[in-house]
Structure 1
Amino acid sequence: MSTVLTEGRRIGAHIISESAGETGGMRSREVGVLTGNVKFLNGTVLGQVGVGAAVAAANGGNTGNATISAVTTGAGAKSGVYKVDFTAATKFDVTDPDGFKIKSGATGAAYADDLGFTITAGATPMVAGDGFTITVAAGTKKFKKLDPAAGDGSQNAAAILFGDVDATTADQKAVLTVRESEVSDFELVWPVGISDTNKAAAIAALGKKGIIVR
């Protein structure tokens, strides 16, 4: 009886072409740190942890005593301090850490943009000038498997793994494709059950880094 041999995934099989750089080095690749307590296969599409936890606090001089709860980070969250400034008893504006005003909101309704939260009116109404700060911690910049449902930055495709890496017991350094390359979609490892919409968004995000999925 003949022996059947099964070939595993070939290291670097996802790469069609890449940039060597002017000095002959591997311009397309960098070393990064993988986290997540899982095994990673060659060609895994990765996201990067860009932000940490978000913590809210009421401004010290508030007249009203509204409360804020269910604070989460969204797809566009930035590290730094967000300002929630009331313009009336039930209306507020939100400014991101770079000073840009984003979507306005109202008490009693779930807010969703860079951040998610709900402000609940208290016994004493808020007045114009009252508010909250929401401080978003900096992320670890480590890489995880792409997760479209995440809010820490790993929902955005940022790199592709070169090689197989076992990070089940500890974070591991790894070689990543991060820019200026062409890769084969057939050889990429996507999240199980990823939707066509999320996959298209991930491919577009990789494209902005010069990683073209063929």
Structure 2
Amino acid sequence: MVSPVLNEHFYTGAFLVREANGYLSRDKGELVNETTADVSYEAGLVLSDVTTAVADFVVGGSNTGNGTIGAITVADGTTPTNYEIVFTDATDFTVSGPDGSELGAGTAGTALTVGGLTFTVTAGTTAFVAGDSFTIVVVPGGPKQYVPYTGAAAAAAILFDRVYVEADTAKHVAVVTRMAEVNGQELCWDPSVTSAANASTLQSEALNQLAALGIVAR
């Protein structure tokens, strides 16, 4: 009689060497199965963050002009943060990032694409003056969403527990996103990574990206 073949899966959190006290190293999120087949994902799977972002604007408190900003389109991968718009005269303005660096310049009435945002500032019945401002606030559009790391987007988390996700659906999961030391030999990778000609490069890049977030592989 031939004995059945038994496959042992990675245990919950077995890849962890140590993590921060309590649940500080972990977050809740959604694991998205973008394929047309049901998939069982192993604990220790390296993930990318594909959360979409949305944007709104806040009018400067001392604006003279009463213009506004229309719909704001946010490109995939845009970092949630604040962008400052400051007018230099009645029609021209600059756009700066959170660190104060200038990202671009635009003109009222003309669509501008800068920093992953596309928008149009529209003049009102009262003209803008130098110093008038807006703040564009970019925030996640919902729960953090993750997919298996393939190299297309930066590695951002590690799946804490094995989970089964049906085709074209998502499931709530726990992920490790910060302040952790992990066993690199017990991390799991998407087949597109392990079968790639540059697999070692992709894995090295992912580990460096995780290290930048405070997740160190040993």
Please report the TM-score for the alignment, with normalisation by the length of structure 1: 0.60
RMSD: 4.9
Residues 1:46 and 2:47 are matched in the alignment: yes
Cα pair 1:146 1:156 within 8 Å, conserved? no
Residues 1:164 and 2:169 are matched in the alignment: no
* CA shift for structure 1 position 34: 3.1
From 102, 111, 131, the equivalent of 2:133 is 131
Cα pair 2:53 2:78 within 8 Å, conserved? no
- From the superposition, tell whether residues 138 and 203 of structure 1 become closer, same or farther in structure 2 (CA, over 3 Å): same
Cα pair 1:44 1:190 within 8 Å, conserved? no
- From the superposition, tell whether residues 177 and 132 of structure 1 become closer, same or farther in structure 2 (CA, over 3 Å): closer
- After TM superposition, the structure 1 = structure 2 runs for residues 1-214 of structure 1, keeping only pairs within 5 Å, are 2=2, 5=5, 7=7, 9-11=9-11, 15=15, 18-19=17-18, 30-36=25-31, 38=33, 41-42=41-42, 43-47=44-48, 52-56=53-57, 59=60, 61=63, 63=65, 65=67, 67-72=69-74, 75=77, 77-79=79-81, 81-88=82-89, 89-96=91-98, 100-107=100-107, 108=110, 110-113=112-115, 115-119=116-120, 127-137=129-139, 142=144, 144-145=146-147, 156-166=154-164, 171-174=171-174, 176=176, 178=178, 179-184=180-185, 187-189=188-190, 201-208=205-212, 209-212=214-217
Residues of 2 paired with 1:183 and 1:90: CA distance? 52
Deviations 1:90-109 (A, max 9, x none): 3413242xx63341322346
* CA shift for structure 1 position 130: 3.2
2:155 aligned partner, one-letter code? A
- From the superposition, tell whether residues 40 and 94 of structure 1 become closer, same or farther in structure 2 (CA, over 3 Å): farther
**Percent identical:** 20
Cα pair 1:180 1:210 within 8 Å, conserved? yes
Residues of 1 paired with 2:47 and 2:113: CA distance? 28
Please report the TM-score for the alignment, with normalisation by the length of structure 2: 0.59
Cα pair 1:52 1:136 within 8 Å, conserved? yes
Residues of 1 paired with 2:88 and 2:202: CA distance? 36
2:130 aligned partner, one-letter code? A
Deviations 1:118-149 (A, max 9, x none): 33665987542233321234676645225789
State the SS of the aligned residue for 2:47.
strand
* Range 126-135 or range 29-38, more displaced: 29-38
**Where does structure 1 lack aligned partners over 5 or more consecutive residues?**
none
- From the superposition, tell whether residues 49 and 31 of structure 1 become closer, same or farther in structure 2 (CA, over 3 Å): same
Residues of 2 paired with 1:30 and 1:161: CA distance? 12
Residues of 2 paired with 1:3 and 1:34: CA distance? 39
Deviations 1:29-87 (A, max 9, x none): 944323145466123223458885211355573537474444316646244x4321122
State the SS of the aligned residue for 1:172.
strand
- From the superposition, tell whether residues 195 and 37 of structure 1 become closer, same or farther in structure 2 (CA, over 3 Å): same
